[in-house]
């Protein structure tokens, strides 16, 4: 997927909200996620889904193509979860009944409401996560973790893991493209062989990349602690007020629409 080739950190570094205080962006994104998860009704997650998407696209100026590709990631997981909930949970009046291979399947109003709630919670929460990922560079998130007294060893491991995620992706894409050019996926048997070779090469190259990284860190006098950026831009009063108003509005919507359901 091209979004992974582009590297999410590129958009986090280049977006229009780049200079906004990281604490505020984390509070906004995490607050939206928590409200989505805690909301008893589907209206508040829907409200967060549309408004936070608008904030990400309009104010952060993230390309629509990139955002839509990201929303495809939870689509398959959400689809199967909704199908399972729709036909394996009960309650209420039947709204849909049919059979597959003489197996009767029935969706009730209760299961339909629960499935829809799970669906909008999933996408509302993912919009909060994407807002953080697309507007806040990971190095600043690690800096926030350091300020919050997260153990340094955990932060260092997280930084190294994050670095190697994109090393793996880049190497996998390069190897896969080379195999595709050489017709490595034209048949099922060739595809299996190519995938096995890709996995083996990834392991070897990852090992080599790790050794090269250790040498580079030692040559720069690595003393067991990775440096993090210092002070950030202080939050502006307008930004603080806007964040508080938005989260307060989301909470108000969640409370006032807690009994609204699409199926009765």
Helix residue ranges per DSSP H, the chain: 2-6, 8-14, 22-38, 43-54, 64-71, 75-88, 109-135, 138-147, 152-181, 188-219, 237-256
Q: What pLDDT sits at residue 129?
A: 93
Q: What pLDDT sits at residue 3?
A: 44
Domain ranges (residues) in the chain: 1-136+233-264, 150-226
10-residue mean pLDDT profile of the chain (264 residues): values are 58 87 92 94 94 94 90 85 81 75 78 90 93 89 84 84 81 87 88 89 85 81 68 81 94 92 80
Helix or strand holding residue 96 (H, E): strand 94-100
Q: Which residues contact 262 (CB under 8 A, 6 or more apart)?
A: 42, 112, 113, 116
Q: Is 52 exposed, middle or buried (0-12, 13-18, 19+ CB in 10 A)?
A: buried
- Smallest CA-to-CA distance from 56 within 32, 80, 82 is with 32
Residues 120, 68: contact at Cβ < 8 Å?
A: no
Tokens describing residue 30: 């995490």
pTM: 0.81
Q: What pLDDT sits at residue 228?
A: 67
Pairwise CA distance, residues 123 & 47, whole Å: 11
Q: What pLDDT sits at residue 5?
A: 43
Helix residue ranges per DSSP H, 183-226: 188-219
């Amino acid at each position: 997927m091209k979004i992974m080739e582009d590297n999410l950190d590129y958009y986090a570094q280049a977006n229009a909200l780049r200079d906004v205080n990281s604490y505020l962006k984390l509070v906004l994104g995490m607050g939206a996620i928590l409200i989505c998860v805690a909301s008893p009704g589907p209206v508040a997650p829907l409200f967060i889904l549309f408004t936070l998407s608008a904030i990400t696209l309009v104010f952060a100026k993230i390309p629509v193509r990139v955002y839509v590709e990201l929303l495809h990631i939870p689509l398959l997981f959400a689809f199967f979860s909704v199908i399972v909930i729709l036909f394996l949970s009960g309650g209420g009046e039947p709204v849909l009944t049919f059979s597959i291979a003489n197996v009767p399947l029935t969706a009730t109003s209760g299961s339909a409401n629960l499935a829809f709630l799970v669906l909008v919670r999933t996408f509302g929460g993912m919009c909060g996560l994407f807002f953080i990922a697309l507007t806040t560079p990971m190095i600043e998130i690690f800096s926030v973790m350091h300020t919050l007294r997260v153990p340094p060893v955990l932060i260092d491991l997280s930084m190294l893991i994050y670095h190697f995620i994109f090393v793996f992706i880049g190497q996998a894409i390069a190897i896969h493209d080379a195999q595709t050019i050489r017709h490595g996926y034209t048949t099922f048997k060739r595809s299996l062989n190519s995938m096995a070779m890709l996995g083996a090469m990834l392991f070897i190259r990852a090992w080599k990349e790790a050794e090269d990284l250790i040498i580079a860190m030692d040559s720069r006098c690595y003393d067991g602690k990775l440096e993090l950026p210092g002070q950030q831009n202080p939050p502006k009063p307008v930004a603080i007020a806007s964040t508080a108003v938005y989260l307060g509005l989301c909470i108000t919507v969640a409370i006032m629409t807690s009994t609204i359901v699409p199926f009765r």
